[in-house]
Chain A
Amino acid sequence: MAAISVRGLTYIYPSSSEPNLKDVSLEVEKGEFLLVCGPTGGGKSTLCRCILGLIPHFYGGDMLGEVRVLDMDTREYPPSKLAPRVGMIFQNPEDQLVAMSIEEEVAFGPENLGLPREEIRRRVDEAIRFVGIEELRDRSPYELSSGQQQKVAIASILSMHPEILILDEPTSQIDPKSAIDIISLVHRLNRENSMTVVMTEHRLENAAQYADRIVIISDGRVVHNGRPSEVLQLESLTEHGVPVPKIVQLSNRLRGMGVRLDHLPLTVEDAADILGRMLK
């Protein structure tokens, strides 16, 4: 069964004269890792808001078509009903941190679910261990670097045991090393916990290798939808504002010059492996 099913979705913000999403149809399978790319203003964040039910409940505007999340029609279920099962990570972690200590932050979600004390404690320990921030437990979220804050934000979502995780450019404010940590963390959640992941990203260097599928949304429409190695070889990508990683650009050019690579490498290590073997 699909975890998320979007059918004929057209949406227009209250203040806008043109729809931000135009007839978008999309399915995300349970346990799938979907990467959503495209130009700024193309509709990526709007799609995330639709999946969370923030559209139409919070933003208003006109919505046509249907969004079903874990078999719940978002028109009928408000975000508060979806939130325990669909977690959201924002670009700027400071936007979602509320508590005075990491432990309180991570306990905030389960407390609001009214879980018993012992269960809350168990979930907090588990989430803190999973993202690897044990040593920060008693610190204030505001003393941390943005990379650490983003891990706290993820832990505070994980403690609610959601089935779907939505991340809207989770690494854009973060230095490259911490960005790799965050993406690997999301990958582990997807692999080890079978969490369904929908992530928007401008930087594909790290994320492309882990995604099952890439969807390109440009000018409110789905213009491409396929496996990363298929989508990233398309020539029209740069027009759609998709930052094709340098290693993929190079591989595409080599193929264009007649070099027969057996597949399109998505990482430097894979490219070095293929090219190294061919040059031997």
Chain B
Amino acid sequence: MKPLISAKGISFSYPNGVISLTDITLDLYPGESVAIMGENGAGKTTLVKHFIGLLRPGKGVIEIEGVNARTMTAAEIARKVGYVFQNPLYQLFSESVEKEVRLGLTPLNLPRDEVERRASKILEDLDLSRYRERHPLMLSEGERKRVALASVLIIEPKALILDEPTLGQDAVEKRKLAELLGKLHREGHTVILVTHDVEFAFEVCDRILIMSKGRIIADGPRREIVTLRRVLDEASLTQPQIPRLAALLKRAEFPGDTIAVDDAEQILISLFAEARSR
């Protein structure tokens, strides 16, 4: 399969000379769900800003579906890769939720009824229909995040990047977000999260990429990465609670790559049943 986004040996320094990325090479494939994790300042956001052409690498090449991103316009990239900022205020401009959500479609010159169809569907999907007329600044932080997400999703990009989407979200909002991301993933979207919320990332994403000090220090399926305690440590992350429990209990029946509470429950119940029958 052809990668959707490729980074080939990219390095980047900010104008003040701070080196932010060093020799990053990676391929992100259509339909993947990936979490990019690491300490504050590891280079996560700097990396994904390259995927949408907001930053250009000092060295190396970014390709979107095999095309050098340098030769593409911002609008061309936006149709393929959508980006939701960590702070929704950076991307909300309009005086109503509905106008905000439609804004991204302006350059596409779509027929009116198509704009209407997409807007209604997105507002419905993100539980925002009742706020159509509301000013985005009158909404809660969590609701604003959903408006920002809607205004990107309406363009129907193939890949969606969300920067720290769980920040400031309570448990109910997080669960809804996880469901929504699952749905987008099943519909074939590539979902890329930038986050240091370990529990959320390992629950929602199949592939985990760990960055530290501008480099990728681990990249693999979540069940593999979740056992790498030292690597997680190096990136100022903690191991999720269930695999940490497995590591401490040291039972062959309870492997260190168990992540879900459901799985841990079943394993422990059968261990207790076994212990009782002995």
A residues neighboring B (CB under 8 Å): 38-41, 91, 145-147, 169, 172-178, 180, 202, 205, 238-239, 241-247, 249-250, 253-254, 257, 259, 268-269, 271-272, 275-276, 278-279
Report the separation of the CA atoms of residues A269 and B241 in the bound assembly, to the nearest whole angstrom: 10
Interface size class of B (residues with CB under 8 A): 35 or more
Determine the chain A residues whose CB is within 8 A of the CB of B275 once the complex forms.
278-279
B245 x A243 contact (CB < 8 A): no
Give CA–CA (A147, B248) in the complex, Å: 28
Question: A177–B233 contact, CB under 8 A?
Answer: yes
Query: Residues of B contacting A246 with CB < 8 Å?
Result: 199, 240-242, 261
CB-based contact A178/B40 at 8 Å: yes
Contact B170 A241 (CB under 8 A): yes
The segment out of B20-28, B45-53, B183-191, B263-271 that lies at the interface is: B263-271
B residues whose Cβ falls under 8 Å from a Cβ of A: 38-41, 140-142, 167-175, 196, 198-199, 233, 236-238, 240-242, 244-245, 248-249, 251, 261, 264-265, 268-269, 271-272, 275
Residues of A within 8 A of B242 (CB): 246-247, 250
Closest to B268 in A: A254
The distance in angstroms between the C-alpha atoms of A189 and B87, with both chains bound, is 32
Contact call B41/A202, Cβ cutoff below 8 A:
no
In the complex, what's the smallest C-beta–C-beta distance from A58 to chain B, in angstroms?
20
- Of the A-B pairs whose beta carbons lie under 8 Å apart in the complex, a sample of 12, sorted by A's number, is A41-B140, A174-B40, A175-B236, A176-B196, A202-B169, A239-B172, A241-B172, A243-B171, A250-B242, A250-B265, A259-B268, A259-B269
Nearest CB of chain A from residue B248's CB, rounded to whole Å: 4
Q: Which residues of B contact A241 (CB under 8 A)?
A: 170-173
Nearest neighbor of A244 in chain B, beta-carbon distance: B171
Q: Is the CB of B248 within 8 A of A254?
A: no
Q: Is the CB of B171 within 8 A of A279?
A: no
How many angstroms between the C-alpha atoms of A253 and B272 in the bound complex? Answer: 14
- CB B165 to nearest CB in A, in angstroms, measures 13
> Are A40 and B168 closer than 8 Å at their CB atoms?
yes
Chain B residues with CB under 8 A of A180 = 238
